[in-house]
Structure formats: C-alpha cells, structure tokens
Structure 1
Amino acid sequence: MARLSLDDYAESADRAGSADRATGAAGATGAEEGGVRIDDPGYLVGVPDEFQRLWTPHRMVYIQHGQQPGEDDCPFCVAPSMSDEDALIVARGKHAYALLNLFPYNSGHLLVCPYRHIAQYDEATPEEVAEIGSLTQTAMRVIREVSKNDGFNLGMNQGAIAGAGIAAHLHQHIVPRWAQDANFLPIIAKTKALPQLLGEVRAAIADAWPKDDA
C-alpha cells in the first residue's frame, strides 16, 4: 500500500472532508482512495482545519547552543570570543567587527560594533570611528551585491530612551531595504517575513566580503 505525498494528503483529506459533510458521517471508516486507505492513522494523522502552521525548528539553535548570552553578559562583548558561525559574525577588523542582528528587521540586517565596551558614539576613538565607517561602507557594497536591495537604513540609537535595545554597547544598524518590502504583517501582526535563515545569510555575506578588508 503506497504512502501519500503531501499533495496526495491534501487532496485525500479534502475529498474525505467533502464526503463526510455530504453523508453526515463522523468518519470514512474503511474508505479507500486509489488503493490508499485515507482513514488509516498510519497515513493520515490528525484532522485538517483552517489554521496555517509556521514551523520554526531553526529557532532551537538559540536555546540549545546558547546564542543568547546571560542577562548579565553583554552580547557584543561575548560575540568576538565565539566562532564566526555561532556569533553570526561576517567580518572582523582591528577595532570593530560586523555581525548579523539576531532579531533582524530585514534579511541581511547587520550591526557594526567596536570591540570596546562603550555606550556613546562620542566615546569612540578616531581609529574606532574610522573602522566603523569603513566596515559600514564595505557592508553596504557586499549586501548590495548579494541581495540586490534598493536602499539602506543606517543609524545608531544612543541610549535606552532613544530606542537602543542594548544601550551599554555602541552598535550601528545597517538595514537593507527593497521596494515594497513593508506590508501589513509588521503593523497588524507584529511579524516580519524573512525569506532566509540567519546562517544562510551570514555565509552569503561572509563569502562575498573582500578578503583584504576582513
């Protein structure tokens, strides 16, 4: 007896539901469709309903591998001590580095941080300022090459009152933007639709990053 594919499952479930509604039967016990038992729990598990499922098993990596530091740890101080893959770092400089935002607004949302634990931009040394700027420029060129985006939002939120999520450690946002990339989801459902997993985005940007700038 052949197993059902996902398409077969959907079609059979729809036919089974239609048959039940037409006959008023509670189930199609013993029914067969094309030689496949559509009521066998080995092939059809559960009852179809109107809900869509958003499966996110990739989120387990944050729980199992500790990508979120403890409450008393600064994530931007911890990240450089981790591997590039685990910390989502795309490039390391002498005074600053670039990594993906763990909670991106759009795919490719990068942060540029100094290694030093400073909070305000005016606390940065000239060398740190220069490298933050250089990494930002390179990031823009690489993201544009990889993602074919139409524009960017660049900015720093200085202090919690100004919206900084991690106010104690300076970081600059680089957010790629596409025409019509905003829709009802963030407004109505507080949800962003992201087409790629973070690991895939990190690999693509890191691979395209100029090696003499890394």
Structure 2
Amino acid sequence: MAEFNENIWAPWRMEYIRSLGDDVIGESGCFFCAYFENPTDDQSHHVLWRTEGALVMLNRFPYTNGHLLIAPRRHSGDPSDFPIEEHHELTKLTYDAVKVVRTAFNADGFNIGCNLGRCAGAGVPDHLHYHIVPRWNGDTNFMAVLGATRVIPDGLNAAYERLLEAATQLGFVD
C-alpha cells in the first residue's frame, strides 16, 4: 500500500502561481476579481464571454486543449456562501461551455468539477471556480497529474480563437 502514500508532484502549478504578478492579480489579490474589474482586457486574459455574475475563460495552464474555467463574480471559495441562483447560473454556463468546447474541438467527453481548498488542489482556493476539461477517446487520461507531463496540441491563442468562434456561432458572444 506504500504506493498510495507517495507524493504526486505538479511543478507546473508553481509556474502558474508565480506567473500571477501584480499586473494580472490586481489590487484585489485575485486574478478572477481583476478580470471582472477589467472587461476591456478580455482577449488578453482569454475570457471568452461573461455574464453579469460570472465569466468563462480559457485556463492559462490547461490539462488538455480547450480546458475552460468558469468563475462567479462573488469572491469566495465556499459554495455555501452563494445563493442558489448563482449556482444555477454557474450550472447553465457549464452546459454552455461544454457545447462550445464540443463544437470547437469535437471532445468525446468531459471532466467537470472544482477543487475546494488548497489541500484539494485548488490553485486559487479563495475564489470558487469550475474546470471544464475536454477529453477524447484514447487521450492521455490524467497523465498530467500522474506523470507530470501534459500533451497539449494547440497554443493558447489558437485555442482561444477556435473557442471564441464556436461561442459566437452558438450565440454566447455578440
């Protein structure tokens, strides 16, 4: 049973944390909050679309091509702090994001979820957000987690453009 007690290293997470300088994090100390404060920077921040209460964006450090994040405007890492209406909006955006990724990348399946707390793997534990991770038959599974290797065939800007085109085509972006 010792194999279950070994560490799993994810060194790219530290790259991510260190990359969030003051220019990205802003005065709030949270990049999600900073992105809400600066809608004119949506393209450079890879925000695909936003609603009054949430945003849908490309993950800058994806597990797979087309890995999206959905974050509410409210700054809290505790789901119980959110009224049910805000959970409904996040769920609706999750459905919409799946449609967009499926249209843009022909994903066969998805892993959808959130990590609550740093010990659960949350890189931003104080701001609830959901991961939409596209999957394909025969893909690398969770090689990124278990083997510290990520296979991502497309650059962020190219993926952003494909997703933005699909989101526009589906009516989520004007």
Q: Is 1:158 equivalent to 2:116 in the alignment?
A: yes
Q: CA RMSD in A?
A: 2.6
Equivalent of 1:149 in 97, 104, 107: 107
- Is residue 28–residue 34 contact of structure 2 (8 Å, CA) maintained in 1? no
Query: What residue is the counterpart of 2:74 in the other structure?
Result: 116
Task: Classify 1:178/1:67 alpha carbon distance in 2 versus 1 (closer, same or farther; 3 Å).
Answer: farther
What CA distance in whole angstroms lies between the structure 2 residues aligned with 1:184 and 1:94?
33
Rg bigger for which structure? 1
Query: What residue is the counterpart of 1:211 in the other structure?
Result: 171
Task: Classify 1:183/1:138 alpha carbon distance in 2 versus 1 (closer, same or farther; 3 Å).
Answer: closer
Q: Is 1:199 equivalent to 2:130 in the alignment?
A: no
What CA distance in whole angstroms lies between the structure 2 residues aligned with 1:212 and 1:176?
19
Where 2:76 maps in the other structure, the secondary structure is: coil
Q: Is 1:139 equivalent to 2:97 in the alignment?
A: yes
Unaligned runs of 5+ in 1: 1-61
Cα displacement string for residues 29-57 of structure 1 (whole angstroms, at most 9, x for unaligned residues): xxxxxxxxxxxxxxxxxxxxxxxxxxxxx
Match for 2:161: what amino acid?
A: A
Cα displacement string for residues 54-76 of structure 1 (whole angstroms, at most 9, x for unaligned residues): xxxxxxxx97x977436972011
Higher RCO (C-alpha 8 Å, min separation 6) = 2
Q: Is 1:84 equivalent to 2:39 in the alignment?
A: no
Cα displacement string for residues 68-99 of structure 1 (whole angstroms, at most 9, x for unaligned residues): 43697201111221522111101101211111
- Aligned length, in residue pairs: 151
Deviation at 1:149, TM superposition (A): 1.1
TM-score, normalised to structure 2, is 0.76
Query: What residue is the counterpart of 2:29 in the other structure?
Result: 73
Cα displacement string for residues 179-202 of structure 1 (whole angstroms, at most 9, x for unaligned residues): 1211796444x2212111111111
What CA distance in whole angstroms lies between the structure 2 residues aligned with 1:79 and 1:161?
25
Residues 40-51 of structure 1 mapped to structure 2, 5 A cutoff: none
- Structure 1 segments of 4+ aligned residues over 4 angstroms from their partners: 65-68
TM-score, normalised to structure 1, is 0.63
Unaligned runs of 5+ in 2: 1-17
- Is residue 67–residue 86 contact of structure 1 (8 Å, CA) maintained in 2? no
What CA distance in whole angstroms lies between the structure 2 residues aligned with 1:116 and 1:173?
17
Paired-residue identity, %: 36
- Is residue 66–residue 159 contact of structure 2 (8 Å, CA) maintained in 1? yes
